[in-house]
Every structure is written in structure tokens, then in C-alpha cells.
Structure 1
Amino acid sequence: MDWKNQFSPLDVTTSDTLPDLMLSYLGSWSAINMIGPDKKSYLQGQVTCNVVTLTNEQSTLGAHCDAKGKVWSVFRLFHHNDGYALFQPASAIDVELAELKKYAIFSKVEITASQDVALGVMGNEAQNWVDSLTDSRADVRPITGGSAVKISEKRWLLLVNQDQAEIIINEFSSSKVTEATWTRFDIEEALPVVTAQVQNEYIPQALNLQAIGGICFTKGCYTGQETVARAKYRGINKRMMAVVKGNLAEELPSAEPIVLERSVGENWRTAGELLTHYTFKDNVAIGLVVLPNDLEDGTQLRLAIQPDTRWTIEPLPYSLADE
């Protein structure tokens, strides 16, 4: 049996309890690998997070921007094999790889698209299951064939070679679910997802990276740093990433942008495009979207392609208040 075909959709309503242990093949996710003597210094000058202080047992969110501070990639960075891995949506890899390699000719560093397989372990028992793989109890752990990385209390990423991925999948005896469940966790945890569709559109603060440890304001210069600093110290950022929720009149199309509109008096205006979304069995959906950060409480939203729907802005699981 093809190991990629062992995963089934998990059809649950908004009130259903999730299985205690789930495994998913994250086919729409990948990573960029970086190795070489200059990997730390080179990456430090390219991204918003602090690479120098990142230990082997930690991961961090971060962004890579253009010179104007617009985001090419939002990634999770961690030590992997003999270098770094920047885990991110696979659709963003080609453009991000080209941008990240622009000045690499001047450094002893090799930057390549990863050939590893991404698996997601989820549920109340995810931690215990990962603990069974290794004696390490760190948030980033070397395991056979690659690395295990803690995303949240109920979620771990496994980035491993294909042979090990096949072994893990074939031996896994609990629920094997499609990556839609991983997407649900991303939305509920309000972790930004930047696919090719929205590359080079937003500054990091519009994606809430300052609130989730993805920006270091004391690390020194990197590409786009001036814009990121102005957004913090001069208050020029007028956007935020929100979790939204609403009803559906019919299934959302998978291959085209999903636009939300917001109510303005008796009229409706374009509010933003969903970065990602997840649909429950009871015709309710959730998603992530970048909105103006000064919207009034209770602002109504709707799907542009389904104008009879009504969506609301949900509370974030973290604070956007500036420390």
C-alpha cells in the first residue's frame, strides 16, 4: 500500500472531540535546508528572528522579507541534521529559495530545497508518543532519519527522510488523518501561513509575528529591518492577522482565493483574503485573514462568493499588545 494513501479526512463538527493521537502526512509543506560554515552569520543577516541565540533544542518562528519589509516567507527555524531547516508551505519554496540565495555567493553556505518528508503528530497523546521515540525531552530532538519539533502542547512536526517516514506511517496504529486537521491547529493557534498566493504582500507585524516570537528587535541589521522597526516604533502598521469563523452555504473552492467582505453601514467592502481555512462537518468554517487593526468590535464579515453567509472575528490565543 502506498504510504501516502493511508490518510483519511477527519469529518468532525465544531463540538466533536478529536482523537487522542493522530498522524498526518503534510504533503503541502516542505523545508529549505542550509548548511556550511557561514550558515549562522548568513541567515542572521537575512531573517527577522535571532539565529545566533537559537540552541539545538529550540525552534523559532521567523520571516524573510524583501528590502521594503514585505514577507517572502514565514517559517519555523530549527537545527536539523548538520545545519538548519526552515519549515514552510511548499508552494512558497521556489520563490523563497531564489530570494534567500541571492547573496549566498559571498558566503560559505549551501541552500537547498529539502527532500525530507513532513509528518504531523497531533492530539492529547502526541507528546507521549514522541517521547517514545527518544530519550531527549527537548523541544527539538534528533530522531532516526531526521528531527522531531514541538509546535504546541498537542502538536509535533517530524521532518524525516522518506524511508523513515514510511516506517513511521506503516507502524502507526492510531488515527491517520489528512493534513486538514493540521491546518485546523494552525488556525486555532493563529500561526501565520504564507503560501505563494500571498508572498510579498504583508509586513511581518501584519501577520502577528511580533506577538509569537518571530521578530527580534535587538539583533541588528537584516533585509527589511528598517520597515519592521518603523512599524514597531512609529506605529505605521495598520493591519493584524485575525482568526475568523462563519457559516457556509456550500463547500469552499480549493483552487481559488477566498475573499471576505466587511460591513460598512449598509454596504460591504473587501476586507481581505483567507490565508488558509478549515471546514467542519456542520457547515461551519474557520480561517486566518489579515484585516485592518482598527475594526470596531462586532464588525460583520461575509464571504464574497457567498453573500448570505455571516462571519465573525474570534479571540486570538495570544495578545497583540506591545510590551
Structure 2
Amino acid sequence: MSNNWYNFLSPLGAIFNDDKEVSFNASEQSTISSLQGDLYLTDLSYLGLIEVSGDDKKTYLQGQLTNDINAISSTLSHLSGLCTPKGRLRALFTIFAQGNKLYLQLPYPLLEETLKRLKMFVMMSKVELTNVSDSLIKIGVFGQQAINQLKASNLSIPGEPNMVTETDGIQLIRLAGETPRFECIGCVEKITALWQALQPKAQLINTSHWRIMDIEAGIPNVFASSKEAFIPQMLNLQILNGINFKKGCYTGQEVVARMQYLGKLKRKMYRAHCDAEQNVLPGDLLYSEKSKSGQGAGHIVDAQLSPKGGLDLLAVITSDAVDNNDIFLDEAMQLPLTIVDLPYSLEIEES
């Protein structure tokens, strides 16, 4: 993390854990009962950035990732996964462009090993991969007044989720959700000035609150504890435009295509709630009365304590467990999960 950015946030009560997740120690942070206020602001240092440059960058990434890299432009970002040869996700990226460079955004704890893995296959290609997490600062802005306040800072607003704008060195990525939500990216000087303009009108929120908004929007991620736990379709990437089935070969493509055209997807990502307040990690097992196998009912994608009580979560769950209302957080099967509607349909053409 940039020392200048850390030194700027520290007097505001920002405390970072080893994964660069932030919490603000102001007393009101523990009493947030809703994420439907007028304006919220947070730091996104928990997301790392890999810069990809060089003449062969798109050709190289096209052979590594699940989505069509040629579709990315200065005005469009999208999800894309890095798979093992067996089609399991090593990492899931938000990819966006800036000038003649591409940026891969992923949880910071996965950055170094992912960067090392990607560099293994550069070989003779004209490609450079660099960790730029400290030089490009990322903040999140959310709330009914987000658009008005960003406009007041003379920033151009992207109109739809995944769309991107750039104004005077600051990029805005619009994120999915019923309430306007944006990621703002720029150098430390630009983002510091933007933060100072927004903060008097905003409530500071923790990383956990920001991740709840991803859960509500049905947007998955792959974390260090869930690495290689899922194939792309289990995380609904075929619905979220995170896979292109016509782009040609990439690592794991045969498995992903076989599932799409020849297989039956028995596990999908659902949104759920549990009336329990206990720590769970991405990748943790879920349980079922009727499934005594080691695979259980499914696995956690992400779970956060809800401001309204209990746990909000995304989980990959078997269709049978969902149909039978037979999903539990604990092995004793005392903590049932309740399925909550996603903001998109899972009923799409599988072929």
C-alpha cells in the first residue's frame, strides 16, 4: 500500500488487516443498520492490480483467460477467470483498460502467486506484467447521492454496470446493484483530492460492508481460501458475461466447454442468508441431510455479517439441496440457510 495513502487514511481511524481489508474505528461504524443511505465511502486496497503492457498483451491474455480480451475497451470492463488445466478457477479478475495498458484486479492475497503464474507463460511474447497496487489507488463510492456527488467533482458517470469513464486521470467503473455504486481509480494525489471532496457528505464503511454489496448483486470472487474450488459456470460466469465460448483455446477451456455443451451443471451459485453470527471463510463446506459425501451441499463463495443480523452469503450449492431446502452452515445441521433471490435469473440456455 502506498505510504502516502496509508498516512492519509490513518488519522481517519482506518485499520488494515494482513489482507489489506479496512475497518474504520469510528463508533458509528458498528451501528450501520442498512446500506441504503445517501452516500458511503470506503478504501479498496484489499483489491490488488496487475498491469499488463506490451504489444502482445491481448494475444497473450486471450490464451490464458476465460473471456474475450478483445472486447475490453476504454469504456468497458468485464470479469474473466484464470483456470487450471482441469478448469478450476485460480483467480477471478475484473479487467479494465487505461490507455494502451490492461489491468487485472483481484483480491490482494492472491496477487503475487497469480502474477508469478502468469509470468511463467510469457516466454518470448512482448508482454510485461507488473504489480501496481501501490501506485493506483482504488476507492468505492455508494449511495443514492453517489452520482450527484461525483458529478459535483466534475467526473463523467458511466451509465451501466461494467461501463467505464475517465476524467482528468480518474477512472470510474460502474458496479452492479440497485443503488448506484462506483469504483474510482487513480494516482494517490487525484484520489486523495476526490476523497476529501466526498468525505464531508459521506459515511465511511468497512471492506466487509462493500463485500456485502457484491453479495447482494450476485457478483462472485475467488479468494485465497477458495482457490481452485470452482469451475467458472459454478460461479454463474456464463450469466455474468465472464466466459466467451467462441474465443478459442485457453488454459482449462476444454473442461469449461464440455460442461457448457455436454454436461449438466449440478452446482450453481445462489444468494442465501443464515440466522447465525459466526466466522466462515470462502471455500468452507456446506452440509446436507441427504448428502453425506465429502462434497456436501456446496461451498461458501463469500459470507459477511449482515448489518441487519445473521450472515449474508453467496454459495455454490447443489440443485438437489436447494430444491429440498436441505442446506446447513454447520455439520450438526442446526443452522439452515434460506435462499434469497439473486438480481438475475439462473434459468438460461445451457447450450
TM-score (normalised: structure 1): 0.88
2:101 equivalent to 1:83: yes
Counterpart in the other structure of 2:211: 183
Q: Which moved more, 1:116-125 or 1:130-139?
A: 130-139
Q: Which moved more, 1:221-230 or 1:1-10?
A: 1-10
Poorly superposed stretches of 4+, deviation over 4 Å: 254-258, 265-269
Q: 2:301 aligns with which of 267, 275, 278?
A: 275
Supply the distance in 2 between the matched residues of 1:54 and 1:157 (Cα, whole angstroms).
Answer: 17
Going from structure 1 to structure 2, the CA distance change for 1:256 and 1:298 (only over 3 Å counts) comes to closer
Which structure dedicates a bigger proportion of its chain to helix? Answer: 2
Q: 2:78 aligns with which of 60, 78, 96?
A: 60
Counterpart in the other structure of 1:315: 341
Query: Could you tell me how far 1:270 is from its partner in structure 2?
Result: 3.3
Counterpart in the other structure of 2:147: 127
Counterpart in the other structure of 1:39: 57
Conservation of the 8 A alpha-carbon contact between 1:35 and 1:109: yes
Q: 2:195 aligns with which of 158, 165, 169?
A: 169
Query: Could you tell me how far 1:226 is from its partner in structure 2?
Result: 0.8
Counterpart in the other structure of 1:28: 46
Counterpart in the other structure of 1:3: 9
Percent of aligned pairs sharing the same letter:
29
Structure 1 residues 214-229: aligned runs within 5 Å: 214-229=242-257
* Aligned pairs, number: 319
2:223 equivalent to 1:195: yes
Query: Could you tell me how far 1:164 is from its partner in structure 2?
Result: 2.7
Supply the distance in 1 between the matched residues of 2:243 and 2:273 (Cα, whole angstroms).
Answer: 27
Q: Which moved more, 1:196-205 or 1:310-319?
A: 310-319
Query: Could you tell me how far 1:144 is from its partner in structure 2?
Result: 4.2
Going from structure 1 to structure 2, the CA distance change for 1:60 and 1:106 (only over 3 Å counts) comes to same
Query: Could you tell me how far 1:208 is from its partner in structure 2?
Result: 0.7
Which structure dedicates a bigger proportion of its chain to strand? Answer: 1
- DSSP 3-state at the match of 1:303: coil
Going from structure 1 to structure 2, the CA distance change for 1:89 and 1:267 (only over 3 Å counts) comes to closer
Structure 1 residues 98-177: aligned runs within 5 Å: 98-114=116-132, 115=134, 116-134=136-154, 136-138=156-158, 139-152=163-176, 154-172=180-198, 173=200, 174-177=202-205
- DSSP 3-state at the match of 2:195: helix
Conservation of the 8 A alpha-carbon contact between 2:282 and 2:303: no
Going from structure 1 to structure 2, the CA distance change for 1:124 and 1:35 (only over 3 Å counts) comes to same
Q: Which moved more, 1:63-72 or 1:81-90?
A: 81-90
Going from structure 1 to structure 2, the CA distance change for 1:238 and 1:36 (only over 3 Å counts) comes to same
Conservation of the 8 A alpha-carbon contact between 2:281 and 2:300: no
- DSSP 3-state at the match of 2:41: strand
Structure 1 residues 216-295: aligned runs within 5 Å: 216-248=244-276, 251-253=277-279, 258-264=284-290, 270-295=296-321
Supply the distance in 2 between the matched residues of 1:146 and 1:98 (Cα, whole angstroms).
Answer: 28
Counterpart in the other structure of 2:68: 50
Going from structure 1 to structure 2, the CA distance change for 1:304 and 1:132 (only over 3 Å counts) comes to same
- DSSP 3-state at the match of 2:36: coil
Conservation of the 8 A alpha-carbon contact between 1:81 and 1:147: no
Going from structure 1 to structure 2, the CA distance change for 1:313 and 1:39 (only over 3 Å counts) comes to same
- DSSP 3-state at the match of 1:112: strand
- DSSP 3-state at the match of 2:238: helix
Matching residue's letter, 1:245: H
Q: Which has the higher contact order (CA 8 A, sep 6+)?
A: 1
Supply the distance in 2 between the matched residues of 1:35 and 1:58 (Cα, whole angstroms).
Answer: 18
Provide structure 2 residue ranges, at least 5 long, that are not aligned to the other structure.
1-6, 15-23
Query: Could you tell me how far 1:282 is from its partner in structure 2?
Result: 4.4
